[in-house]
Chain A
Amino acid sequence: MSEKWNITLKVSRQKEGQTPHFDEYKMEVDPDEYVLDAVERVWAFMDRTLCFRHACHHSTCGACGMRVNDVEKLTCITYIRDVTHNGATLKVEPLRNFPVVSDLAVDMGSLYSRLEQVGARSVLPAPEAEIENPPATWNAADQQYIRLADCIECGLCISACPAAATSTEYLGPAVLAGAQANGLKRNPELLQIVDAEDGVWRCHSAFECTAVCPSFVDPARRIMDLRSQVVKERFRSLFRKA
């Protein structure tokens, strides 16, 4: 028989014209269920007006990002056992730095349009993808393979980034990571976009993006690498003929 916990799910609610507030739902859960299961249970059995985003339930779509007890989590892979305990409260809020559409659902349009702006790719040719133990040289047969990019565009990094909290124009960690994966050598036009006040230089090295990323993109490392690329390109341009 599976273990049962009694928890109070404290959900941030906000509909049009309302100020944000919390509603509490008491429920019995299996601690090995995911946080998203508890949120869905509220919608299914307690309150059909609860609005939230979800789709794949296996950390591929990036839709169910929320703040769970003040930390950004992909709720479909976050075990209830890991974020609360029996008899305790579990707080769920929408991601920060995106406009709230309703309750836990936020408008992530700004992230998607900026990813397009830097030409972030959903799939990469295998030799360009960062993989563990890559071959020293890629043979012709293996070069034909493509690999899904690690970033699932969940927006957790933008929500966790303190620099993103104060500037609407900051490209943000996911977008800069997408630009880094493209590379300035291959896409010189990216230089103007990322070498700007709201590009790589807005990052203040808090590394919160990497800490919350559920997909091991490591945006902070990529931003630092992009900075190096920017400095190298600018240095090279000094010696280039006009």
Chain B
Amino acid sequence: MDPKHNQPSPINFWKWFNPIGRQAGGWAFILNRITALGLTFYLFLHLLVLGQLAIGPEGYNGFVALMRNPIAIAGEMLVVAAGIIHGLNGVRIVLTTFGVGVTRQKQLFYSLMTAAVIAIIVFGVRMFTA
């Protein structure tokens, strides 16, 4: 029998994203990982876009024009959503780490995620109607 089978290993990180059998705290953990990866990916994308400035005004203006189409706006919407969810989930972690709401962490998570949904809707309406 492989002695490493079923034992902790860094390659098990993909199991972090499996929501089966998880509960509120586990879903919060998964959400935080997904949004963190998304925001990190966006950071690289953002730096790439800023690199367009080096090409000159034409390159940059062309890219900005491209970003005005609805698919690009939806992509930006995802970034906003990830930022809000990750930020508010972070608030939950900071509070519980300092002993606030530890025994009410589920309610804290649901409340903050409700606030996140409302904020995302407000941002979405503003972004798509601007």
Contacts and interface: CB of A to CB of B under 8 A. Distances in A.
Contacts of B28: 205-207
A170 B28 CA distance: 21
Interface residues of B, number: 33
Interface stretch (A12-20, A22-30, A125-133, A144-152): A12-20
Given A165-B15, A220-B102, A227-B97, A96 B6 contact: yes
Contacts of A18: 1
A106 B7 CA distance: 10
A29 to B, nearest CB: 22
Given A67-B21, A204-B29, A221-B103, A16 B1 contact: yes
Contacts of A20: 5
User: On chain A, which size bracket covers the interface?
Assistant: 35 or more
B24 A207 contact: yes
Interface stretch (A3-11, A97-105, A115-123, A185-193): A97-105
A166 B102 contact: no
Main secondary structure of the interface of B (DSSP, over half): helix
Nearest to A16: B1
Interface of A: 14-18, 20, 67, 69-71, 94, 96-100, 106, 160, 162, 164-168, 170, 204-208, 210-211, 218, 220-221, 224-225, 227-228
10 contacts: A94-B6, A98-B7, A165-B13, A166-B13, A166-B16, A205-B105, A206-B22, A208-B25, A208-B29, A218-B103
